[in-house]
Amino acid sequence: MDIGSKINHLLIMATRINKYLSEVGFCSRREADRLIADGRVMINGFVPEMGTKVSDEDQITVDGKPIRELREDHVYLALNKPVGIVCTTDTANEKDNIIDFINHPRRIFHVGRLDKPSEGLILLTSDGDIVNKILRAGNRHEKEYVVSVNRPLDPDFVTKMSEGVPILDTVTAPCQVRPLGKKSFNIILTQGLNRQIRRMCAHLGYEVVKLKRIRIMNISLDMPMGKWRNLRPEELAEIQSLLISSKKTV
């Protein structure tokens, strides 16, 4: 690669320093901004400005220590979230937050959300890059749920849910729905609108009384309520393979 091509390659791969620190799992973007403002971050021996872009070619230090030495291997967790736990990293203002509930020694982020009244599978990790790739709606990664509602399903309920329902100024993407009982059904989504299933059911005149997520991509719920485990090597290898063609969030 000639020098011109190398420069162009590095420019394309460059990422804002706060985002870079988040994606490598060192800290949140907000914390990175504070570190930069306090002059504790250096790039190639110089104190950067906010918004400075970096790549893996740069020598980045925090408090004089290379970021590569400060990083540990990422952790990837699966949790069976109970009802009542809130998916937020705001540990100061939300006493029932998911971070304190797990009480993991590493700084971790939840991948997406399950609202407070919902339960089931949620992933957590220190790897900001994988969080971005999974969450990007255009990547269409599957999430599977079992849902119970307050009255028997109408004959056309499955068809309407499957074809798309108007909520939040849009129409939901086609999805897979199958009945499980008179008042329950299984649904597989490839998008993640806010309170999507609850809003879809409400539009059709139903109230969700129980919502449980049982799968995210290739990861299935297989631990007791309130328990978490590390992703198995084969699970992580498959999820990384599924994410190879995925794009990050902007």
Which of the residues are catalytic? 115
Helix (H, G, I), strand (E, B) or coil at 46: strand
**Residue 130 main-chain phi, psi, to 5 deg:** -70, -30
Closest CA to 18 of 55, 43, 50, 63: 50
Do 150 and 207 contact (CB within 8 A), yes or no?
Answer: yes
**Rounded CA separation 216/239 (Å):** 10
* Dihedral sign for Cα atoms in the order 89, 133, 74, 51: negative
AA identity, residue 235: E
User: In the chain, what is the straight-line distance between the N-terminal and C-terminal CA atoms, in Å?
Assistant: 28
DSSP letters, 167-223, are ETTEEPPP-EEEEEETTEEEEEES---TTHHHHHHHHTT--EEEEEEEEETTEE--S
Q: How many other CB atoms sit within 10 Å of the CB of residue 161? A: 25
Chain-centre distance for alpha carbon 155: 35
